[in-house]
């Protein structure tokens, strides 16, 4: 979160249609923000939500039990996967 408080030294440039720009301007105006502030706040909020969805998930007790059981269950034998994992990658010397 400290990145939000640091001095601004980077730019993000985007091109939009006139309709998109008008929509952003209207949304910013009703939010009492500049278009830049509105876009930054909105995009950061979406970014935090996207990242949180990839790092945190909540399960009830039954789901947690099933999840832990799945993690503890040894994988089924898969000869094709085993061969693949033992094959040297094409980019390796």
pLDDT per residue over 1-50, tens digit each? 456 567 888 989 999 999 999 999 999 999 999 999 999 999 999 999 88
Q: Do the Cβ atoms of 10 and 3 come closer than 8 Å?
A: no
| DSSP assignments along 4-36, one per residue | HHSPP---------HHHHHHHHHHHHHTTS-HH
User: What per-residue confidence (pLDDT) applies to 5?
Assistant: 67
CA distance 70 to 63: 10
pTM of the model as a whole: 0.53
Domain ranges across the chain? 2-86
11 phi and psi angles, rounded to 5 deg = -115, 150
Tell me the mean pLDDT in the region 63-72. 95
């Amino acid at each position: 979160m400290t990145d939000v408080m640091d001095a601004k030294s980077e730019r993000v440039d985007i091109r939009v249609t006139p309709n998109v720009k008008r929509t952003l301007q209207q949304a910013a105006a009703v939010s009492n923000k500049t278009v830049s502030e509105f876009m930054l706040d909105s995009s950061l909020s979406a970014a935090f939500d996207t990242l949180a969805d990839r790092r945190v998930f909540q399960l009830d007790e039954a789901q947690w039990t099933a999840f832990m059981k799945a993690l503890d269950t040894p994988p089924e034998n898969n000869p094709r996967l085993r061969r693949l994992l033992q094959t040297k990658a094409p980019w390796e010397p």
